[in-house]
Amino acid sequence: MEAWFEEYIVRVEEELAYFFDTYGEYVSKFPFVIKDLLAKIRRYSLAGGKRIRPILTILAYYGYGGKGDKIKQISIVPEILHNYYIIHDDIIDQDHIRRGIPTVHAMYEHEEDSKHHALSMAICAGDFTSHMVNHIIINSEFSNKIKLEVLKLIDITGFRTIIGQVLDVCPEESASWVEEVHTLKTAHYTISNPLKLGAILAGVKKSELKKIERYSMFMGKAFQLQDDILGLFGDEESIGKPIGSDIQQGKMTLLVVKALELASKKDVKFLRACLGKHNLSKKDLIKVRGIITDSGALQYSTNLIDLLLTKSLVELEKLNLNEPQKEQLRKISRFIVGRAH
């Protein structure tokens, strides 16, 4: 990506670090276990990531005419919200690595013998992080009216994300189920929520929020499809987590659903045997990749990504965003579907 994008990332990471520093003061009088918990959440939050969510918030705020610096602290809200969800998501998915470092429950597992204690601490870590979201919004410099609009947005986003998460935990072998999960769990909270947040803070009208949502639904689904491809065909170091973990966890990604629909009986049998197989070998993984490629499932997904990108760019043009933010959003849209991490 270009320099302006890197500048956004630096800015967001500075805000995150500043937030954890100031929040740290609140816990300074408590015993070590509390300070250590916050230090783990901080380490996890600052370990990396695309920072796409706060960048979208800042971009929408200035693109819709927002002024001044008061966006800075509140712009990290979608990132903190994301951390809350993924701390719990890591427990649910039994993921031990994210962003190239141990997940929160894995940090505790490394230190102690008791898996249950590690789990308990990670549940608390997620709950703690969830409370930070409200804390930042309530203590921001915006009017009460705007704060409540923001809280309403987060309420609806949270509702959808958790429903999406439950559907993801109870997967069905259906493309429409997968699309529903992508809409609820990715499109709303990764694209629509951050953009709407910036727009609300800048004071836009409700009709504009609807337009943002239309753009975001296409973009969000494309983002998730690309994420699923990277999770299977990407580079472990770039994406910061083990390749093929979706297969090991038996996740119903569109790649898998389509391969089960399109592949030969023999390949389907092999693929089914790999889904949820905890000791998936490198050889298994290569064969799974082959099945997903040869069946046409990969091509189906990349075609769909192209279609979604095209549709999202049409919707993007309808937004009343100022340039240069509109141009930045075009570039981010293309980056999201073309990225390697």
Nearby residues of 226 by Cβ (< 8 Å), 6 or more positions away: 305, 336, 337, 339
Question: Least distance from C-beta 132 to its own copies, angstroms?
Answer: 9
Query: Bridge-partner residues for 97, per DSSP?
Result: 102
Which residue, 118 or 212, has its beta carbon nearer to its own copies?
118
Length of the chain: 341
- Considering beta carbons, is residue 14 or 155 the nearer one to its own copies? 155
Binding map of its own copies across residues 128-167, x = CB under 8 A, - = no contact = x-xx--xx--x-----xx-xx--xx-xx--xx--xx-xxx
Q: Residue 192 contacts by C-beta under 8 Å, 6 or more apart in sequence?
A: 157, 212, 213, 216, 217, 220
Torsion from C-alpha of 96, 104, 193, 227, nearest 10 degrees: -10
Beta carbon nearer to its own copies, 136 or 255: 136
Binds its own copies (CB under 8 A): choice among 55, 71, 81, 91: 91
**Shortest Å distance, C-beta 180 to its own copies:** 8
127 binds its own copies (CB under 8 A): yes
Does position 94 bind its own copies by CB under 8 A? yes
- The secondary structure of 290-318, three-state, reads HHHHHCCHHHHHHHHHHHHHHHHHHHHHC
206 binds its own copies per the rule CB under 8 A? no
Instruction: Provide the minimum distance between the beta carbon of 221 and its own copies in the complex, in angstroms, as a whole number.
Output: 18
- E-state strands within the chain: 97-98, 101-102
Q: What minimum distance in Å lies between the beta carbon of 185 and its own copies?
A: 12
Query: According to CB under 8 A, which one of 46, 97, 101, 123 is a site residue for its own copies?
Result: 123
Q: Is 4 in the site for its own copies (CB under 8 A)?
A: no
Contact 275, 285 (CB under 8 A): no
* Residues 12-51: x where in contact with its own copies by CB under 8 A, - otherwise, as a string: --------------xx--xx-xx--x--------------
- Sign, CA dihedral 36-38-44-46, equals negative
Instruction: Report how far residue 209's alpha carbon sits from residue 217's, in angstroms, rounded to the nearest whole number.
Output: 12
Q: How far apart are CA 235 and CA 67, in angstroms?
A: 40
Question: Toward its own copies, which CB reaches closer, 167 or 285?
Answer: 167
Q: Where on the chain is the footprint of its own copies (CB under 8 A)? A: 26-27, 30-31, 33-34, 37, 88, 91-92, 94, 116-117, 119-121, 123-124, 126-128, 130-131, 134-135, 138, 144-145, 147-148, 151-152, 154-155, 158-159, 162-163, 165-167, 169-170, 172, 177
